Amino acid sequence: MKRLIVVFASISIIGFFSYQFKNTLAMMLFKQAITAQVTRDLVLDYADGFHVISCGSGTPLPDLSMAGGCTAVIAAGQLFLFDAGEGSAETLGVLGLRPSRIDAIFMTHFHSDHIAGLGSMALQRNLGNNIKTSLPLYGALGVEEVAEGFNLAFAQDHAYRIEHHPSLNAPLEALQLEARAFDLPPNGKFPEIYAAKGVSIRAIAVPHGPVRPALAYSVEYQGMKVVISGDTQISRNLVLAATGADLLVHEGLQAEMVGVIEQIALADGQTALATIMHDIPSYHATPVEAAQVAAEAGVKSLAFTHMIPPLPVGLLEGPFLSGVNEAYGGTVFVLRDGHMISLSVDKAPIRTKLL
């Protein structure tokens, strides 16, 4: 009996110390991970280049691995976002792209999967020191309503935060969005809507009806050009604007795969989902159509984002890209959240990296 007590006591002591050690080890790892996370600042690290990063390749279709529509561009030490879908602010933070570094957000259109993260984006940006001004939100007419709506929806949250952290002296504007609206350009015209430090950003009208306005954007820097399609059908105007681009970031909807979802939803009696799956191909481009745009415009590389349906496993990229290589001879990428494409001033081949 005495021996049994000794054995139990020994096990308890070992258990106690290994439990304590486990926690100590966990806290050490936590500190290391947080140091890497909090001190990471990609804009500073990549300030002298031209980089495109996916901060959200997702769509309204559920996919835990991808945030809603968001493409980030670093150029001349500036950080620009194109759309801010659900979860994109948090994804930026995880990637080491500090929201406080954002110089401006450019809206392609006002579908929910492209705007849902705007409130969080403006809020997270305020974590940066000395932010005293609102976050510029560029877009075609209608963007004022989006900015006002988010500012209003978050007004109570903003008031709590200002009251709770008085020493930060953050003015209300520092937590808000500020709309910078412009007219939807006609086809064939690509007005410059932003220019600073050698970076020029132009707006391009694209067809996404009944969604109007809908825009693509081009970003030019040091003789290089990146074009971001937004949501669009196959677009002649986009071919014109993307001519000679180094990189075209394009949406893609694979109609056959969407048809499979429609049939399964129909068989399950989910008529609303089936109807939506039936209707959405009409205002998106298939991967082959995007490849045709890239080929006709003579772009050097094509990167897919906003993939419909989501491609949770790499194996599905095969059917998604079916026919793309026949239509387009350049390099093709499928962007996942955290993928970075770097362009080189000396015209070296573009490089990709998963952050």
Binding site for Zn ion (CB under 5 A): 111, 113, 231
* Minimum distance, C-beta of residue 59 to Zn ion, in the bound complex (Å): 5
* Minimum distance, C-beta of residue 110 to Zn ion, in the bound complex (Å): 9
Contact (CB, 8 A) for 175 and 158: yes
* Minimum distance, C-beta of residue 251 to Zn ion, in the bound complex (Å): 7
Query: Nearer Cβ to Zn ion, position 88 or 126?
Result: 88
**What torsion do the CA atoms of 332, 197, 345, 219 make, to the nearest 10 degrees?**
20
Tell me which DSSP letter residue 225 carries: E
Residue nearest to Zn ion (CB): 231
* Minimum distance, C-beta of residue 44 to Zn ion, in the bound complex (Å): 31
Backbone angles phi, psi at 179, to 5 degrees: -70, 140
Query: Nearer Cβ to Zn ion, position 113 or 220?
Result: 113
| Of 329, 331, 307, 330, the residue nearest 319 (C-alpha) | 307
Query: Nearer Cβ to Zn ion, position 111 or 225?
Result: 111
Tokens of 328: 């387009």
Query: Nearer Cβ to Zn ion, position 170 or 211?
Result: 211
Q: How far apart (Å, rounded) are the C-alpha atoms in residues 67 and 94? A: 12
* Minimum distance, C-beta of residue 284 to Zn ion, in the bound complex (Å): 8
Query: Nearer Cβ to Zn ion, position 231 or 246?
Result: 231
Backbone angles phi, psi at 20, to 5 degrees: -60, -40
Query: Nearer Cβ to Zn ion, position 96 or 252?
Result: 252
Q: Where are the alpha helices (DSSP H) in the chain?
A: 2-39, 42-45, 88-95, 112-115, 118-125, 143-153, 155-164, 236-242, 255-267, 271-279, 287-297, 317-320, 324-327
Query: Nearer Cβ to Zn ion, position 231 or 337?
Result: 231
* Minimum distance, C-beta of residue 291 to Zn ion, in the bound complex (Å): 19
Query: Nearer Cβ to Zn ion, position 111 or 250?
Result: 111
Inter-CA distances, 142 with 82, 183, 199, Å = 16, 10, 25
Backbone angles phi, psi at 31, to 5 degrees: -60, -45
* Minimum distance, C-beta of residue 60 to Zn ion, in the bound complex (Å): 7
* Minimum distance, C-beta of residue 211 to Zn ion, in the bound complex (Å): 5
DSSP for 20-73, please give it: HHHHHHHHHHHHHHHHHHHH--HHHHTTTSEEEEEEE---SS--TT--SSEEEE
